[in-house]
Structure 1
Amino acid sequence: MQNKYFLKFLCLQVFLINTAVVFQGHAQAPASGQISLNDLSAFKTPSANWSIAGSVVADFNKVNTISKKDGQGILVNIPGKSKNEDLFTNFEHGDLDLNFDFIMPKESNSGVYLQGRYEIQLLDSWGKDNVTNSDLGAVYQRWDESRSNGQFGYDGVAPRLNVSRAPGLWQHLHILFNAPKFDAAGKKTANARVVKIELNGVTIIENADLQGPTRGSAFAEEAASGPLRIQGDHGAVAIKNINYKTSVNPAIVDGSKRVWDENDKPVTVDVKGEPVVFRSFVDIPGKRVTHSASIGYPHNISYGYDLDNGAIYQVWKGGFLDASPMWLSRGDGNARPIGSVINLSDASSLAILNTTTESWPDTLADLVYRPKGYELDEQGYPTFKYIFNGIHVNDKTTANEGKSLTRNISVDGPAPKNLYARAAVGSDITEVGDGLYSVNNFEYYVQFDKGTKPVLRTTSKGKELLLPVKNTDKGTSVQYSLIW
């Protein structure tokens, strides 16, 4: 009997030692925190493809290319010729409320695995009309090669909208995750669950039941906890501002439901095959635009135009408009973009400057600006017309499928020598190359045609990109593209 009990005791000791070895460095995550990116000490045995940087540029044009500069605060994966491995946190988590910013170059592919088991896809999905469970923000599919040929992949969850931004721009992902639950005997009592995923401020997935690990899981079996894992063997990616909490409310209300009617059905304005111009009030930070035209184009790209100032004041991707507030009770005349919005300036796009150091006017004096409505071309694209300081102006913006908007501002007759158009204003504007400029630290791009020479200037409020409106034998106009 003594030998029997001694043998059991010895086996228990060996089990505990082995368990300690397996989980060494994988403590349970604190209730909340931020993963320090001063170095790689938050991660277990990082391979050579991982590093820490102070700044990065993920290339808009070159496939899978990131450049970096020394410093702290950004986690960078640059796959090389040697072995490229995934990255695991030293802590393990169960439920998780995770936020982080990320940036990817053209055609890059990566992913974040919750508990090392359930992949949320990171991919360059810019401009795609129809997204799948392989696109940015999706819950990647499970995999079983014992299933029928062509059906190995199953149970993935695609985003409801594509709000992905262009390569080389910073994006934001927010994930709410409930871990699987187990009883005292180790039997699973509840599946893992994605409560909600928000990409660039828009809910794209909610209430997704995860019946098992997705393809590429680091572990064959499910468990109550596991490390956060970032894919390192596919494409280049950079990540910063990784914040988390380990408490998640399983009954989060869908944040995409704003103001709906009494039947709990949204009153939406959709784009079906041709452009739509919709007049309403629109609320923007600090202001209500009372004379707004919202223009929706096919391929899920839209913009807002202020008819009082001749300004494109916001752009977005996703759906078109939620007009529910216009029909709720007596209505307030307000419509709201359905998608990820980038706010631009609401000031006039044109100004007469005596010098290039003169401040851009925030408002227009009386009688300087007179709106003259708009005309539609054969494709349904509107050209907004107005008189500015006696100058007859035509303002037309067209779409490059779901990827960019190209704006052309032309003048009837000769323009004064000191007439300028402002293409962008921001806290930071940096030339990236080949006529491409990033605005607000890679929030969006402005692209100019070859040979165009914009004026990049510093003001008391930040930076501005100006275009002189010159008279040529081909007419008087300026043109640029907004890319995001």
Structure 2
Amino acid sequence: MRGMWLAGIALMCSTGVSLAQSAAPQTTAIPLDNLSSFQNPGKSWQVAGDVTAKLDKDNELDVKEGTGILVNEPSRKKKGVDLLTNFEHGDVDLELDYMMAKGSNSGIYLQGRYEVQLEDSWGVKNPTSANNGAVYERWDESRPNGQKGFEGYAPRQNVSRAPGLWQHLKISFQAPRFDASGKKIENAKILHAELNGVTIHENVELFGPTRGALGGNEVAMGPLRLQGDHGAVAFRDIKVTKYGKPRPELVDLKYQVFKGKFEAEPRYDSIPPEAEGTSVALTSEISPFQKDFLVRYTGTLRVKEPGEYTFNLNTNGGGGLMRINNKVVVPIEGRDRKGTVTLPAGDMPFELVYSKVVEWGRPALGIAVVGPGIREYLIGDPVAGGNDNSQGPILVDAPVNTILRSFMDLPVPGENGKKNTRVVHAVNVGSPDQVHYTYDMDKGNMIQVWRGGFLDATPMWYSRGDGSSRPVGAVQHFGQPAFTLAKLANPQAAWVIDTAGTGFRPEGYDLDKADQPTFSYRVYGTNVQDAIRVVEGGKGFQRELTVQNPAENLYARLAEGSSIEPVSKDMYLVDGKSYYVRIDDAGGQKPVVRDANGQKELIVPVRGKLRYSIIF
């Protein structure tokens, strides 16, 4: 037992808290085979199999027959009306994809009362409470002009994609709380909201319904409402996770504190405690010592909702174990600090042991709990876990054209899902238009673009650092790092994956008067200049490749993804409508969309100069 206890503590000090999924509340997808999930749908709403939007047509979507996508196209003939779900919700997590038409406007009303704005905000530099992802403002006609709207919340940054591209939204909502008499005792909150993978809201308190709500009153339960009277919008993959079941409670807590560096669980009846008593909370602060102590809590766990629960134990600066009903749920052995158990309703014995043995670790004790119909909550000290005392973030803005070289870690598909690959000669190029890119000097290629903030340099500059930085905004990756140019025996030959036989040699970059780089390299015996510039209005990037005396059968790969769909003569939608590629000048050469390793690739022969744009 002695060695196992100490080894477990060492392992647990090195890991953070992570939730097991087995005990998570059930997530339900809203069926989109028809409109039966909604109350009295108006004529502007329909179910479709595919939808696209044009970058030059206001408030217009092209719809194809089928199922799986919810589309709203209000017009004079089809007056737009709001769409309400048949179900009502209290606390809820909402996750969905949506697509905006050019110039369009819509919204999602939580409980029919609190609007998260959906809007074509492509290229907006300074978002307000009226732009995409915002919490729309409240409204009071009795207030003076210019002050009628109030308490709106702009998103932290604008990470909106172009019209016709799918955008991903996640919202964690906490409903208002009422006492037994119906009096509101706690405001509604948006606990967390992400747009396109970027946090745009956190712990936003909603003091009342926003403008255009179903009513001025607030309720414990209400329908989800999709705004339908403004503009063309499409939705898919709408997933709802409902909460509201009663949480387990710890009652009749007693504690004992023992002084010493306990490498094994002691026999408590053989040593006197330094302190003992009753407590209303679970905390490491009950100990009068900062190091070398053990706290033992005993009490009753009161469970009102039977089912499967996961407990994540946070024992910062040490280790511990937890027993429920006299059985070990979170053991000291192993690397994980979590345990999953099926519990009946009722009262059962509870025991928690925390041994503080690491001198440099700040003491903290808590349990993250998730269960049936119960959103994750914390019992004890508000510490996320582990011994991560790092400072940050150290953010780098780009108020002017800015270059920062670093390592860059990219997520790429692996045998067991996503893994990271490190680009060691990455050049990150930021712009005041709030669109940025990373260039891989070892491959002569753009490897990612993003919209929003520039870089988080904390991993590179804090303490000793590891040399890497990471994008702050919404990122569009381009897959495994690869060469832009390759010499192919025929248009169906596999793309080149290494430098063997290419003669590839990077030659750095030159800056123009606006501090924008043009990259240079040699490949297949020819010189290449690679100039990447921001498209007007921050719509994306235009790239111009100039190849001197190009080799025979030289091709450029412009895109790869799960799908590549032509939408006009020179425009393509890539990777499930994630971004556009527009061919501006191919020197008279014809692009080819081909199959490669289960993916699609867009390639084009290169005969001197090639210019194309990435629109996102």
Same fold by TM-score, threshold 0.5 exceeded?
A: yes
Question: How far did 1:419 drift?
Answer: 1.4
Structure-2 residue corresponding to 1:98: 94
1:340 maps onto 2:466 in alignment: no
Structure-2 residue corresponding to 1:310: 444
Question: How far did 1:402 drift?
Answer: 1.9
Question: How far did 1:260 drift?
Answer: 13
- Contact 1:178–1:250 under 8 Å retained in 2: no
Question: How far did 1:231 drift?
Answer: 0.5
Structure-2 residue corresponding to 1:44: 39
Question: How far did 1:366 drift?
Answer: 6.2
Gaps of at least 5 residues in structure 1 are 1-29, 252-256, 471-475
Structure-1 residue corresponding to 2:392: 265
1:114 maps onto 2:246 in alignment: no
Return the letter of the residue paired with 1:448. Answer: I
| 1:215-250 Cα shifts (integer Å, max 9, x gaps) | 000112111110000011110111011111123447
| 1:53-72 Cα shifts (integer Å, max 9, x gaps) | 11111222211111212211
Structure-2 residue corresponding to 1:13: none
- Contact 1:301–1:317 under 8 Å retained in 2: yes
1:409 maps onto 2:545 in alignment: yes
2: CA distance, partners of 1:272 / 1:262:
30
- Contact 2:173–2:191 under 8 Å retained in 1: yes
1:16-415 → structure 2 map (5 Å cutoff): 32-81=27-76, 82-247=78-243, 248-249=375-376, 264-273=391-400, 275-285=401-411, 286-345=420-479, 346-365=481-500, 368-400=503-535, 401-412=537-548, 414-415=549-550
Return the letter of the residue paired with 2:451. Answer: K
- Contact 1:63–1:105 under 8 Å retained in 2: yes
Return the letter of the residue paired with 1:269. Answer: V
Rg larger for: 2
2: CA distance, partners of 1:57 / 1:272:
34
Count of residue correspondences: 442
SS at match of 2:124: coil
2: CA distance, partners of 1:121 / 1:155:
14
1: CA distance, partners of 2:585 / 2:121:
27
- Contact 1:195–1:250 under 8 Å retained in 2: no
Question: How far did 1:208 drift?
Answer: 0.9
| 1:409-448 Cα shifts (integer Å, max 9, x gaps) | 1023x22231111111112101101411000121100011
1: CA distance, partners of 2:592 / 2:387:
45
| 1:356-402 Cα shifts (integer Å, max 9, x gaps) | 12111122216621111110000111011111121111111000242
2: CA distance, partners of 1:466 / 1:381:
26
| 1:20-59 Cα shifts (integer Å, max 9, x gaps) | xxxxxxxxxx963111111111111111111111111122
| 1:106-164 Cα shifts (integer Å, max 9, x gaps) | 01100000000000000000111110000111000001110011111110000011100
Question: How far did 1:457 drift?
Answer: 2.1
- Contact 1:268–1:323 under 8 Å retained in 2: yes
| 1:253-299 Cα shifts (integer Å, max 9, x gaps) | xxxx9x999573311221122x1111111101241101111111111
1: CA distance, partners of 2:490 / 2:228:
51
1: CA distance, partners of 2:63 / 2:424:
44
- Cα RMSD of the aligned pairs, angstroms, is 1.9
Return the TM-score normalized by structure 1: 0.88
1:461 maps onto 2:598 in alignment: yes
2: CA distance, partners of 1:329 / 1:195:
31
- Contact 2:406–2:467 under 8 Å retained in 1: yes
SS at match of 1:272: coil
2: CA distance, partners of 1:411 / 1:438:
26
Return the letter of the residue paired with 2:101. Answer: P
- Contact 2:555–2:604 under 8 Å retained in 1: yes
Q: Percent identity?
A: 50
